[in-house]
């Protein structure tokens, strides 16, 4: 996920490296994601290899590390392309929600904005294909095959989901660039993509919660909590983009004539 504009203070966390002159930051919230994902994937590993015992969680953690690398590659792809197009990269951050790349300012052209945005999901799709190809060379019923197929599925899902045209997803940035290119108005593009993001947020909640209810399927607490968390994240990001675009449009409409006051010139020795 890419975000424009400088971020005062940056993301809090551990600096684990640098790329294109920007720090790679691992936020403490990622540890929570690692624990949750390990717990989710562990039963799958246990079903495949029940003899592992406690090592089940080590293998599940291996899948989480694979996801971490995938997210990092996604963000580095954003940053490398942005840098090649003349943008300044402030930071790469890995967080609870995946990651983001912060830049020193907005993309100068619609083409740059779209290219920087789309390359992240494309990187995930390339990883997905790579995992699937390698998986063909190992036993399908082994742990290596399990991890590779899981990596292929997760990266494929992340890649395609991020291409959905709604902010704050990368596909929303592409939609914003397209509207900007057609209308010549960057702010209108952001508003359109922001509303697209709101539609995506509602659709996620409807797909995960409403459809099962209509089908008479039971809902568990885990599904309810994570659906609302993800839906809230998407809605908040989309709403923030809309508000930011409207503020930006209002600021650009301000001219010197609006805020300036007439001045009278008097002689230096004139008395009050």
Which residues does residue 180 pair with via DSSP β-bridges, in sequence order?
A: none
Q: Mark whether 97 and 13 lie in a shared domain.
A: yes
Q: Mark whether 170 and 226 lie in a shared domain.
A: yes
Q: Mark whether 153 and 184 lie in a shared domain.
A: no
Lowest mean pLDDT among 6-20, 45-59, 234-248: 6-20
Q: Mark whether 21 and 142 lie in a shared domain.
A: yes
Reported as type and span, the H/E element at residue 88 is none
pLDDT computed for residue 226 by the predictor = 82
Q: Mark whether 143 and 172 lie in a shared domain.
A: no
Count of the separate structural domains present in the chain: 2
Instruction: Decide if 261 is inside a domain.
Output: no
Which residues does residue 102 pair with via DSSP β-bridges, in sequence order?
A: 3, 91
Tokens coding 257:
């004539």
Domain housing 45: 1-163
Q: Mark whether 43 and 175 lie in a shared domain.
A: no
Q: Residue 92 pLDDT > 90, yes or no?
A: yes
Q: Residue 7 pLDDT > 60, yes or no?
A: no
CB environment 212-241: b (16+ within 10 A), e (fewer): eeeeeeeeeeeeeeebeeebebbbebbbeb
pLDDT computed for residue 215 by the predictor = 83
Q: Residue 2 pLDDT > 80, yes or no?
A: no
Q: Mark whether 96 and 157 lie in a shared domain.
A: yes
Instruction: Decide if 266 is inside a domain.
Output: no
Instruction: Decide if 72 is inside a domain.
Output: yes
Question: Is the model's pTM score more than 0.85?
Answer: yes
Q: How confident is the model at residue 255 (pLDDT cuts 50, 70, 90)?
A: low
pLDDT computed for residue 184 by the predictor = 96
Q: Mark whether 19 and 55 lie in a shared domain.
A: yes
- In this structure, are residues 155 and 138 in contact, taking their beta carbons and an 8 Å threshold? no
Mean pLDDT, residues 101-126: 96
Mean pLDDT, residues 224-245: 92
Q: Mark whether 196 and 147 lie in a shared domain.
A: no
């Amino acid at each position: 996920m890419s975000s424009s504009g400088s971020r005062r203070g940056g993301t809090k966390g551990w600096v684990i490296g640098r790329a294109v002159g920007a720090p790679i930051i691992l936020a403490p919230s990622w540890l929570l994601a690692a624990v949750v994902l390990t717990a989710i994937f562990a039963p799958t590993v246990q079903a495949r290899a029940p003899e592992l015992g406690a090592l089940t969680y080590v293998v599940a953690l291996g899948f989480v590390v694979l996801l971490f690398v995938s997210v990092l590659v996604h963000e580095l792809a954003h940053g490398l392309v942005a840098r090649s197009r003349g943008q300044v990269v402030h930071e790469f951050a890995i967080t609870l929600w995946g990651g983001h790349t912060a830049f020193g300012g907005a993309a100068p052209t619609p083409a740059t904005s779209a290219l920087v945005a789309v390359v992240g999901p494309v990187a995930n799709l390339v990883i997905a294909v790579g995992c699937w190809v390698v998986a063909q060379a190992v036993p399908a019923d082994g742990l290596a095959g399990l991890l590779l197929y899981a990596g292929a599925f997760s990266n494929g899902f992340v890649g395609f989901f991020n291409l959905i045209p709604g902010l704050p997803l990368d596909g929303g940035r592409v939609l914003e660039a397209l509207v900007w290119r057609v209308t010549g108005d960057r702010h209108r593009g952001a508003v359109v993509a922001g509303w697209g993001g709101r539609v995506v947020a509602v659709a996620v909640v409807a797909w995960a919660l409403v459809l099962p209810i209509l089908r008479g399927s039971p809902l568990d607490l885990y599904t309810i909590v994570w659906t609302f968390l993800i839906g809230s994240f998407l809605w908040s990001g989309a709403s923030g983009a809309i508000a930011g675009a409207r503020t930006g449009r209002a600021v650009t409409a301000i001219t010197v004539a609006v805020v300036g006051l007439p001045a009278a010139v008097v002689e230096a020795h004139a008395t009050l």
